[in-house]
């Protein structure tokens, strides 16, 4: 499954790697390299890969898009009109892992992390006709148990409903899939829309087999599959350095009880928390939503960037074509509507590259006036990841750094001839 993607690249096998800090260091060192690192986390039963989509080029390649605009459109279309799953009977060659959950590539990434974590696994759950797939970090407790961070979203709702009725939710944990599947399970279509069906639309079809106990759909060729339950037991989970590279606090989170841990010869996957791959998987679907939202209020959106400095989550730079003066401010408002966790946004003209922080600063220096071009919205709902806000409340700020008088030549940047 992963191989369908990695075979297009040079994969460098680095042998056994210690789970504590060494895996994280390796992934960081290979983040911008051409080759994809493969390794065996010491003591585990599978080979792992990482940094599959740590570059934007590989992210576009994963979904076969020629441009970002095409990628945004296809992702939005897949979320809006998901496809169908193709069920196959034969799951392929899986074997029961000798050490249960300890056979999987759990790793400790940062010094303050509370334990060893699985970062690239997603949970498939179906309850009363509603199926959901979403990525959750899992902290290893023992061979049969892991603590799962479940933010109050779709899986949380299924879990609570099932808990009231049956005391537990049947779940299937899947690890090691094509990055297009991971991107799809990182999106947030409405409750009731199944992310694997989003993946199917995005990929032009997705083959799945029924998981051995619950019959949940699992993409064919997945590296590892865990059948289990999210139980009523809660334990302390965390701290864990998340996408903003801040330690998320300790919470009492549900325990996953594994009934069966299956591995195959296919690769599993480790995502470096706070790394480029993490930022791309979480941020790209939000960029798509910002792109769609801003596209409704201005003639053209050239580029949307959730910047690395903003953790790929809190800061956006957007380059646009204006029709009228004032379009820049409408673009700011549309950006906040497209990505509710967005905190600061800078809107620039098409001659400024959002990927070039110096040019963005130059646009702010020469085209922006604070009393005229600054938008501040107080006490809006923001990201709970941002410790400077109060309990999910935040102030949002937008800078309209577009040329204030459209077509005024005084704002043109001089170019060296030749
Ligand atoms: Mn969902």
User: Domains in the chain, ordered, with CATH?
Assistant: 55-267 (2.30.110.10), 296-411 (3.40.1670.10)
Backbone angles phi, psi at 334, to 5 degrees: -65, -35
Determine the pLDDT at residue 130: 97
Name beta bridge partners: 254.
234
Contact 139, 147 (CB under 8 A): yes
Distance 78 CA to ligand 1 centre (A): 13
Whole-number Å distance, alpha carbon 360 to ligand 1 midpoint, is 35
Distance in Å, CA 126 to ligand 1 centroid: 11
DSSP 3-state of 235: strand
| Phi then psi dihedrals of residue 106, to 5 deg | -75, 140
DSSP alpha helices (H): ranges in 176-250? 179-185, 195-203
Q: How many CB atoms lie within 10 A of CB 215?
A: 13
User: What is the distance in A from the centroid of ligand 1 to the CA of 217?
Assistant: 15
Residue 208 Cα, ligand 1 centroid: separation in angstroms? 18
pLDDT for position 384? 84
Helix (H, G, I), strand (E, B) or coil at 21: coil
Ligand 1 center from residue 192 Cα (angstroms) = 7
Distance from residue 347's CA to the centre of ligand 1 (Å): 30
State the DSSP string of 324-370: STTHHHHHHHHHHHH-TT--EEEEEETTS-TT-HHHHHHHHHHH--H
| Distance separating alpha carbons of residues 399 and 364, to the nearest angstrom | 8
The C-alpha atoms of residue 379 and residue 397 are separated, in whole angstroms, by 11
| Cβ neighbours around 93 below 10 Å, total | 10
The H or E element containing residue 6 is helix 3-6
SS3 189: coil
Interval between CA 132 and ligand 1 midpoint (Å) = 5
pLDDT at 163: 98
Residue 290 near residue 304 (C-beta atoms within 8 A): yes
Q: What are phi and psi of 285, to 5 degrees?
A: -60, -30
How far is it, in rounded angstroms, from Cα 134 to Cα 150?
Answer: 10
Q: Residues in the chain with pLDDT < 50?
A: none
Marked catalytic residue, from 242, 248, 327, 386: 242
Q: Spell out the residues 6+ positions from residue 166 whose beta carbon is closer than 8 angstroms to its own.
A: none
pTM confidence score: 0.95
Residue 287 parent element (H or E): helix 276-295
Region class of 23: left (phi > 0), else alpha (psi between -120 and 50), else beta: alpha
242 as an active site residue: the answer is yes
Which residues hold their Cβ within 5 A of ligand 1, which is an ion?
Answer: 132, 154
Q: What is the DSSP letter of 190?
A: P
């Amino acid at each position: 499954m992963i191989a369908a993607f990695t075979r297009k690249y040079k994969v460098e096998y680095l042998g056994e790697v210690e789970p504590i800090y060494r895996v994280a260091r390796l992934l960081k060192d290979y983040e911008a390299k051409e080759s994809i690192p493969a390794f065996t986390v010491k003591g585990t039963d599978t080979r792992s890969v990482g940094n599959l989509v740590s570059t934007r080029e590989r992210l576009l390649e994963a979904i076969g898009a020629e441009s970002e605009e095409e990628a945004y459109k296809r992702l939005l279309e897949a979320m809006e009109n998901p496809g169908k799953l193709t069920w196959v009977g034969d799951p392929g060659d899986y074997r029961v892992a000798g050490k249960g959950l300890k056979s999987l590539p759990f790793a400790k990434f940062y010094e303050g992390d509370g334990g060893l974590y699985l970062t690239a696994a997603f949970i498939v759950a179906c309850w009363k006709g509603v199926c959901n797939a979403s990525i959750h970090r899992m902290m290893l407790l023992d061979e049969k148990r892991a603590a799962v961070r479940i933010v109050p979203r779709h899986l949380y709702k299924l879990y609570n409903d099932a808990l009231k009725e049956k005391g537990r939710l049947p779940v299937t944990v899947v690890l090691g899939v094509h990055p297009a599947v991971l991107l799809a399970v990182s999106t947030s279509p409405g409750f009731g829309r199944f992310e694997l069906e989003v993946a199917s639309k995005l990929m032009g079809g997705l083959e799945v087999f029924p998981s051995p106990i619950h019959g949940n759909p699992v993409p064919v060729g997945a590296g590892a599959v865990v059948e289990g339950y999210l139980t009523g037991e809660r334990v302390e989970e965390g701290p864990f350095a998340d996408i903003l590279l801040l330690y998320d606090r300790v919470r009492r989170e549900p325990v996953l009880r594994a009934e069966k841990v299956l591995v195959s010869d296919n690769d599993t996957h480790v995502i470096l928390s706070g790394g480029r791959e993490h930022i791309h998987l979480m941020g790209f679907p939000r960029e798509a939503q910002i792109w769609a939202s801003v596209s409704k209020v201005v003639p053209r959106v050239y580029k949307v960037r959730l910047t690395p400095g903003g953790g790929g989550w809190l800061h956006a730079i957007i380059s646009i074509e204006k029709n009228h003066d004032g379009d820049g401010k409408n673009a700011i408002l549309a950006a906040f509507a497209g990505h509710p966790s967005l905190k600061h946004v800078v809107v620039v003209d098409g001659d400024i590259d959002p990927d070039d922080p110096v040019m963005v600063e130059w646009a702010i220096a020469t085209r922006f006036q604070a009393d005229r071009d600054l938008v501040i919205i107080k006490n809006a709902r923001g990201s709970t990841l941002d410790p400077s806000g109060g309990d999910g409340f935040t102030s949002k700020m937008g800078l309209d750094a577009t040329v204030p008088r459209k077509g005024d030549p005084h704002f043109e940047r001089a170019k060296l001839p030749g």
